[in-house]
């Protein structure tokens, strides 16, 4: 379901850009009139950017930057409704990474709020780990996207670790390729590979084939190049600060859409 919705939105808009709505509160939002004013500002800014860029993006990815101050069941559902009204899917970047029971609860909360997919970390494994995420999502016909390789400089310290792929032959492979194999085995709806590492995108594409979309963050502020990521095999580029901090978010989103199509 998620793959079809992403593909349809992308085709209609001629864009492979996913907006990362990484807006953050600038003052404490625990309570009081100042907190209320800041939540209102944050919500209005999110609406402005979503509406301005909607014709040039394929989806909107939310992070805890905005979900925590606005509240999962308070103001966030209204933003998700807006995203849906504009014909776009909404992805929650929560990087689920716990035991099965906790994962199931986390997944249910986010999907009940209206999100179309969640992002999870394969490091916890399948049995009583991510099996509960997939089960919960599949019951609701929603998607699960898995991390393979992140976009920050320290990613190699974890995702690049060498693990045994064939104990008998003592053959090793990097953890991100093991995660890619997990994504294929578990029939994930997408994988995350940082745009700052086009060579990793190529390697992961060889493992997951053409059926699993590669979503690549790190374009712009982190140094990744949108066209290079697409040429390396990515299906979608995830862009946050370059759009949300721009004087004209619509123009930046439009330029990136043209660059990626």
Q: Could you give the CA distance from residue 235 to residue 176 in angstroms, rounded to a whole number?
A: 18
Radius of gyration of the chain (CA): 18
209's tokens: 């084939």
Q: How many residues does the chain have?
A: 261
Q: Could you give the CA distance from residue 203 to residue 232 in angstroms, rounded to a whole number?
A: 9
Q: Could you give the CA distance from residue 235 to residue 229 in angstroms, rounded to a whole number?
A: 8
Judge whether 95 counts as a catalytic residue: yes
Active-site position among 95, 142, 170, 200 = 95
Do the Cβ atoms of 197 and 233 come closer than 8 Å? no
- CA 158 and chain centroid, separation: 19
Q: Could you give the CA distance from residue 212 to residue 191 in angstroms, rounded to a whole number?
A: 7
Query: CA quadruple 131, 137, 142, 143: dihedral positive or negative?
Result: negative
182's tokens: 């997990």
Do the Cβ atoms of 105 and 122 come closer than 8 Å? no
Q: Could you give the CA distance from residue 190 to residue 242 in angstroms, rounded to a whole number?
A: 23
Do the Cβ atoms of 142 and 111 come closer than 8 Å? yes
Query: CA quadruple 136, 139, 143, 146: dihedral positive or negative?
Result: positive
Query: CA quadruple 39, 41, 44, 49: dihedral positive or negative?
Result: negative
Q: So which residues are the catalytic ones?
A: 95
């Amino acid at each position: 379901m998620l793959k079809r919705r992403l593909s349809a939105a992308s085709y209609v808009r001629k864009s492979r850009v996913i907006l990362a709505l990484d807006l953050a509160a600038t003052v404490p939002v625990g309570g009081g009139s100042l907190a209320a004013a800041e939540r209102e500002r944050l919500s209005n800014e999110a609406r402005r950017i979503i509406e301005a860029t909607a014709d040039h993006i394929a989806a909107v990815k939310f992070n805890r930057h905005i979900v925590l101050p606005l509240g999962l069941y308070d103001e966030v559902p209204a933003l998700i409704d807006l995203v849906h009204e504009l014909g776009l899917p909404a992805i929650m970047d929560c990087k689920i990474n716990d035991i099965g029971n906790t994962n199931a609860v986390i997944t249910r909360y986010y999907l009940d709020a209206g999100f179309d997919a969640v992002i999870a970390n394969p490091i916890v494994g399948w049995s009583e780990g991510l099996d509960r995420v997939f089960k919960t999502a599949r019951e609701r016909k929603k998607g699960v996207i898995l991390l393979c390789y992140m976009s920050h400089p320290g990613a190699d310290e974890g995702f690049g670790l060498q693990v045994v792929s064939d104990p008998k032959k003592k053959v090793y492979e990097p953890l991100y390729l093991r995660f890619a194999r997990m994504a294929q085995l578990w029939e994930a709806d997408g994988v995350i590979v940082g745009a700052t590492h086009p060579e990793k995108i190529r390697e992961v594409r060889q493992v997951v084939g053409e059926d699993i979309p590669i979503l690549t963050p790190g374009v712009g502020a982190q140094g990744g190049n949108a066209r290079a990521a697409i040429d390396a095999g990515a299906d979608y580029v995830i862009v946050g600060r370059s759009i949300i901090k721009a004087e004209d978010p619509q123009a930046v989103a439009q330029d990136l859409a043209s660059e990626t199509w």
